[in-house]
Structure 1
Amino acid sequence: MTDDSPAGAAPVSRLRALLPDLTPWRASADFRKVWLAGLVSTFGSFLTFVALPVQIKELTGSAAAVGAIGAVELVPLIVCGLYGGALADALDKRGLIVWTEAGQAVLSAALLLNALLPRPAVWPLYVVAALSSALVSVQRPALDALLPRIVAHDQLPAAASLNALRWQVGGVAGPALAGVVVAYAGLGWAYATDLVTFVVSVLFVIGLASSPPSHEAAKPSLRAIAEGARYAWSRKELLGTYVIDIAAMLFALPLAVLPFLADELGAPWALGLMYAAVPAGAMLVSLTSGWTARVHRHGRAVVLAAALWGAAITAAGLSHDVWLVLLFLTLGGAADMVSGLFRGVMWNQTIPDELRGRLAGIELLSYSVGPQLGQTYMGGVAAWKGVRTSVWSGGLLCVGAVGLLALCLPKLMTYDARTNEHAVRQRERRAEAAAAPPVPAER
């Protein structure tokens, strides 16, 4: 039998297998709306992410005052993340997303008005930072809980990759755009642009279909939050994804010391490249994420990728050449993306709908508190033992912690999406729901 396929068809087919799977984008109008809303607001949010500390620095001249932004954001993140998860289970998810996005627009307007004053005040900047953290903490569980409802079960890995790609585009291009706007147009223009992006985002999400709570959902309460925590504790493979990520970010996130590392390498010009290297590595994974659909042992992938992240950060701390540092930071970003991608797939494919919001709140804490504490840890070790020591020792601690946690959590290592009882149960529930006749709309 002869092969009549055109020459070069095989390489093209292999290339397509690597590229992101766009099936969720084509199949779900609601996914397209959420994706576009997130893309638009991400660019605006990075403008404020850069402009806010710049304005505090200009008004106070204090590095401690700039660092206090993280402190005022941490408490709302913890409190509202847990309660926001309970709200996401008990209320219409579309409504939560719309109102929190509109709230962010109001906060951007407040920053704009303050910036236009003859003498801008400092205290509103901290108030807005805290309120914005609270709104994000309420919205994120609703977004995470909505995803399995608007995307088919077998398309969740592809949807996770596309969502990650959206964030990475913002992570690479957003800060660069923000720096230009703040430097040449001014703080007012940065806040005004952020306001416009939130308005556009609201127009996208307001068109989402209603997503009411499931019949089994509990009312928001401390008891409901505790129920979600007990479920997470009972699922040791899920617990493993949380603690692995916390360990990786606690010990090996070098963002706080990159300005000092650039100075030690005699390359202050490379600081922007250092900040962009981690999201750039993550973007490379997202752009070649077609292979992820063929991976089923997600727990092992999470552990291996987290260990590689630590190893890459160790190598970056030991390197004396700035280009090697950039290379290892990029490789670390790629490894961290792989870990994050498969953590998200495990969450979305195994957690029951009636608990999805509360578990999303716990997830929010796992990947947010770690970086907040990690900045403090890395900065403290740098002040004590030096910048380079803080980086390479943190990477080694990450590798050791990940290995120890893998030994203590065998269910994470043996997790297989094809046979795991929770994944099988959710797959069957989704199939039954898809096969059920539609319920006539009430007149």
Structure 2
Amino acid sequence: MARRSFSHFFADTRPLRNQHFRRLWTANIITVVGAQLTVVAVPAQIYADTGSSAYVGLAGVFGLVPLIVFGLYGGALADVFDRRTILIFTTVGLIVTSALFWLQAAAGNGNVWLLLSLFSVQQAFFAVNQPTRSAVLPKLLDLTLLPAANSLNTTVMMAGAIAGPLVAGVLIPVIGFEWMYLIDTFTLFATLSAVIRLPRLPVLDAAAGVPGIKAVVEGFTYLRTQPVLLMSFVVDLIAMVFGMPRALFPEIAHLDFGGPDNGGLVFALLFAAIPAGAVIGGIFSGWVSRVERQGRAVIVCIVVWGLSMIGFGTGVGLADHWRTPMLVLALLMLVIGGAADTASAAFRSSMLQSAADDAVRGRLQGVFIVVVAGGPRIADTLHGATAVAVGTAAASAGGGALVVVGVVIASLAVPSFVRYRISGPLRD
């Protein structure tokens, strides 16, 4: 009995009993590291070719625009066509674009516009692939297993976000950019093998014909009539826009904690802390499958995220007096925030997947991708401007306070979100 109770602290692995989910998840372990190699290699190659951070910054624009456009339209496609077919097509597209990255690097390309264009095409395939991939989970798993499945997926992604850049940072000076892209190309075949072996995944009550702008608008119209689903996006935007201080990490590492102005250990630790917390939260995520009132759980997780950012800002503000202890405090707060964000993401994803009609599930997942990608980018601009006026400590702590206030107001405004609970048994 004690052993069984102790096992409940660790990640719920029951979704892995499903052979289709297990293949996708296992393939993702392989693929995510390769993807992160490309994520690091692209800006590094741009800077090596141009020597300009302005061109590196353009990569954000070239990546975000197709992510928004094709994230929304890709969700509409996933609500009409067989989702297995879409996953096969987009995975092949990702393989081809990754191979083209390798080809241009091996050929000694120095044209930054070619590199940026390839990056846009890759992000377009990714933006169609991800909403479709999320939309198929309710077809493969029991609804009560969705929180555990989403937590397992998030854990792998965050682990890749830590391991990939570290590996790329070591290997790029040794073997060059072309090998980063080539490794990514080969790892994608693991995902292709997994999606080919999926069953057919037609959409219930799918509309006929190729969807257009009207289909995207219909998705937003449906969302407007579903306050619980709409609030899942609103609270995430509150958490990310006001509470994500990553744009301040370079300045904090240099001025508050005495690191060099071009990176260094503190800089790396700050950027790794939130993903590290997410991985830890994923490992000890067994409890998420036992939570019935998922709306209330999201609110609690986001409040914890906001409080952790207040603690982070406090640590930064006191760094002049106790630098090392406050660095430990700041990192600990980021780790706690990362763990809370993982749980929140698992619940919010599960609510979208279980509460939405199958005919609009792809479009809502497309909106989810846009919110997840856009919120932190808005936060970068907002925190950067605020820090100029009030300093990094106040911007970080103040943002955390706004998260707490904002999410409490949102929960009071839409009580149905707080009351939302998953139906069915929570344990088999």
- Match of residue 243 from structure 2: 252
Match of 1:169 among 159, 163, 181: 159
Of 279, 283, 298, 2:275 maps to 279
Q: Distance in 2 between matches of 1:14 and 1:322?
A: 35
* Structure 1 equivalent of residue 54 of structure 2: 64
> Please, which of 245, 258, 261 is the counterpart of residue 266 of structure 1?
258
CA distance in 2: counterparts of 1:369 and 1:218, whole angstroms = 31
Distance 2:232 2:71 in 1: 18
User: 1:138, 1:70 → 2: CA distance?
Assistant: 18
Matched, 1:322 2:327: yes
**Secondary structure of 2:79 counterpart:** helix
TM-score by length of 1: 0.88
The equivalent of 1:243 in structure 2 is 234
Q: 1:114·1:121 contact (CA, 8 Å) conserved in 2? A: no
1:34 equivalenced with 2:24 (yes/no) = yes
C-alpha separation in 1, matches of 2:90 and 2:368 = 19
**CA spacing shift, 1:370–1:329, aligned 2, 3 Å:** same
Per the TM alignment, residue 119 of structure 1 is displaced from its structure 2 partner at its CA by 4.8
Give the alignment partner of residue 136 of structure 2, picking from 139, 146, 152. 146
- Distance in 2 (CA, whole Å) between partners of 1:69 and 1:216 is 36
1:229 alignment counterpart: 220
Match for residue 355 of structure 1 among 360, 375, 383: 360
Structure 2 counterpart of 1:46, from 36, 40, 48 = 36
- Does the residue aligned with 1:53 lie in a helix, a strand or coil? helix
Q: Please say if 1:344 is aligned against 2:349.
A: yes
Please state how far the C-alpha of 1:64 moved relative to its aligned partner.
Answer: 2.0
**C-alpha root-mean-square deviation of aligned residues, in Å?**
1.8
Q: Offset of 1:245 from its aligned partner? A: 0.5
**Deviation at residue 385 of structure 1 after TM alignment:** 3.5
1:20 is aligned to 11
User: Alignment partner of 2:422: what SS?
Assistant: coil
Task: Work out whether residues 313 and 393 of structure 2, in 8 Å CA contact, stay in contact via their aligned partners in 1.
Answer: yes
CA contact (8 A) 2:10 2:284 kept: yes
Residue 110 in structure 1 maps to residue 100 in structure 2: yes
Q: For residue 91 of structure 1, what is the aligned residue in structure 2?
A: 81
Q: Deviations over 1:211-249 (max 9, x none)?
A: 122234454222222222122111111111101111211
1:187 to 177, 181, 206: 177
SS in 2 for 1:212: coil
Gaps of 5+ in 2: 320-325
The question of 1:76 aligning with 2:60 is answered no
Give the superposition deviation at 1:399.
2.0
Distance 2:382 2:213 in 1: 31
2:289 corresponds to 1:299: no
| Residue number in structure 2 paired with 1:396 | 401
| 8 Å Cα contact 2:151/2:342 also seen in 1 | no
Match of 2:308 among 312, 317, 320: 312
Measure the CA separation in 2 of the matches of 1:147 and 1:119.
40
Q: Contact 1:218–1:224 (CA<8 Å) still a contact in 2?
A: no
Instruction: Give the Cα separation in 1 of the matches to 2:157 and 2:411.
Output: 28
User: What is the distance in 1 between the residues matched to 2:119 and 2:388?
Assistant: 27
- Separation in 2 of the partners of 1:234 and 1:200? 39
Shift of 1:256: 2.1
Q: Is the 8 A contact 1:217 1:355 kept in 2?
A: no
1:116 to partner: Cα distance: 2.1
Q: In structure 2, the residue corresponding to 1:12 is in which secondary structure?
A: helix
Displacement after TM superposition at 1:88 (Å):
0.4
2:62–2:119 contact (8 Å) kept in structure 1: yes
Deviation per CA, 1:102-135, whole angstroms, max 9, x where unpaired?
1111111222122223452111221122112211
Q: What is the CA–CA distance in structure 1 between the aligned matches of 2:2 and 2:172, rounded to whole Å?
A: 45
- 2:193 is aligned with 1:203: yes
Shift of 1:266: 1.3
Letter in 1 for 2:314: L
4+ runs of 1 displaced by more than 6 Å? none
Count of matched residue positions in the alignment of Structure 1 and Structure 2: 410
Return the index of the structure with the highest Cα Rg: 1
- TM-score, scaled to structure 2: 0.91
Aligned to 1:131: 121
The AA in structure 2 aligned to 1:123 is W
Indicate if the aligned counterparts of 2:144 and 2:422 stay in contact, CA closer than 8 A.
no
